[in-house]
Amino acid sequence: MADESMVGMEVDRVVLEVERGKVREFALAIKDPSPRWVDGAAAREEGFETIPAPLTFSVVAGHYRDQRSAMEKLGVDIARIVVGEVGWTYHRVAVVGDVLEGRRVVTGVRSREGRSGGTMTMVDVETVWCDGAGTAVVTQRETLIERARA
């Protein structure tokens, strides 16, 4: 069971390559038709050095993480987890060619009674995505909610 003693614990690390094809697919998924996501000249016209990644691109890393192992490490039941909130702080725009390493760390754990009875556990985690030079590009914060047992 997740508790306050886990604050500061590393949950996982993952590498996310900002690839041209993945950026294009992400732009299609969010239904943004801007040419900046596929055309280097269009991106440069907007002031980017190369093709940028959409701001919420770091969520793609969820597909590379071993979520089951991470939830086991936290002591929560993955079948009862929902994401309650996600937020980002941008230090610079991620661009095609970046290789970002994300280190996800527990920043808080709390409990409260659910509306339907039982206790819910909320685990706050933060992932700082750094480039190859170790410079923070984006910080992603999430609240994971383990729903109360029925």
Which residues are CB-neighbours of 24 under 8 A, at least 6 positions away? 37, 38
For the sheet with 81-90, list strands across it.
10-17, 99-113, 119-130, 136-146, 81-90
Binning pLDDT at 50, 70 and 90, where does residue 134 land?
very high
What does the mean pLDDT of the chain come to? 93
Residue 96 has pLDDT above 90, yes or no: yes
Residue holding tokens 């909320």?
122
Residue holding tokens 């290789």?
99
Contact present, 60 and 32 (Cβ < 8 Å): no
pTM of the model: 0.88
Q: Where are the domains of the chain?
A: 4-146
Superfamily of domain 4-146: Hotdog Thioesterase (3.10.129.10)
Residue-level pLDDT at 150: 63
As beta bridge partners, residue 85 has 143
